[in-house]
Structure 1
């Protein structure tokens, strides 16, 4: 315990010294933060992205359902007729059903990946626009860093209300804060293509150097 206290004290001293040195050699840091998820949900692009992702997900689901129906139809026909089939025909039908099942599994995996890639493609212009606006807000208001407060493990764990620059970012883009419904957030799509997709995960933005 004593060693731990000594180490803790030494760390605190090092931090204090480094902070004092920084204060002497550089201008004071001004740190702000924003919720990227919240800002994205307020941007008009979010509704369009959500709509396009939903349409794309529906297309994938319809293709998957068609494959599933084909597999069930052929499976039922095989069960009814297998007693009258020769061994050669039976083996051929079983092989066909196995190939269909494998095709369905591969399609589902590829559909999930395709949906994620589609989301990234649709989000990129909105994220680029957001990044440029964050840079502009930081420059105009003297912020050295702007952190992202989203996610289960956010970069920001605590900060004063006046440090939240989300509304400044929205106003810079000509958007009235709070105008859009919070439920319209763009999040990471669900695992299955049959589900309606939602916004990231956590969306990362670069820090201002």
Structure 2
């Protein structure tokens, strides 16, 4: 009975050790710069173009609000001599509302619209980058992938960015000759 117990404990211990060694072999840690990956994706370049067009449209809208205010103000100044006090008060309120609409759009609304549009454009690109990175990590036996920007020291061999570029069919951007890695 004692021999059987010792044999079971020995087999259990060997199993635990084998599991520990196998577990350590599977816990490869890699890293990636999602910023580099996303900026190299064709979808990102298209999104940048779209953002520039959207920004131009917002600038034009702000300019239109400004022009409407300036035109209304000129009209008010020119016609105010013929207006009664009540009409002047109504026109001043209109001018004030138009001015507030213009300044609110320029100072807040346009930026909020820009941020929301950017998030709508970038969310699927970021999701694709993360999903592809996860797939490459799994295919290559990496248990953990860390963001390169958060690391102080890292071996080049564990950078999965080239593997993700390959999976996405992206030609890596040329490195600057004078830039440090």
Q: Work out whether 1:99 is the aligned partner of 2:97.
A: yes
- State the SS of the aligned residue for 1:144: strand
* 1:42/1:180 contact within 8 Å kept: no
Q: Work out whether 1:164 is the aligned partner of 2:164.
A: no
My pick for the range that moved more, 105-114 or 66-75, is: 105-114
Pairs within 5 Å for 1:142-181: 142-150=141-149, 155-178=150-173
Instruction: State the Cα distance separating 1:66 from its structure 2 match.
Output: 0.5
Instruction: State the Cα distance separating 1:84 from its structure 2 match.
Output: 4.7
Pairs within 5 Å for 1:83-162: 83-108=81-106, 109-150=108-149, 155-162=150-157
Residue of 29, 48, 51 corresponding to 1:50: 48
* 1:35/1:149 contact within 8 Å kept: yes
**Count of residue correspondences:** 155
C-alpha spacing 1:180/1:53, structure 2 compared with 1 (3 Å): farther
Whole-angstrom distance in 1 between the partners of 2:136 and 2:76: 66
- Unaligned 5+ segments in structure 1 are 1-22, 182-209
- Unaligned 5+ segments in structure 2 are 1-19, 177-181
Instruction: State the Cα distance separating 1:163 from its structure 2 match.
Output: 2.4
Whole-angstrom distance in 1 between the partners of 2:57 and 2:41: 26
Whole-angstrom distance in 2 between the partners of 1:135 and 1:169: 9
Larger gyration radius, structure 1 or structure 2: 2
* 1:39/1:166 contact within 8 Å kept: yes
Whole-angstrom distance in 1 between the partners of 2:43 and 2:37: 11
Instruction: State the Cα distance separating 1:25 from its structure 2 match.
Output: 9.0
**Higher helix content, 1 or 2:** 2
* 1:42/1:179 contact within 8 Å kept: no
Whole-angstrom distance in 1 between the partners of 2:96 and 2:154: 57
TM-score (norm 2): 0.74
Pairs within 5 Å for 1:22-61: 26-27=23-24, 29-61=27-59
TM-score (norm 1): 0.65
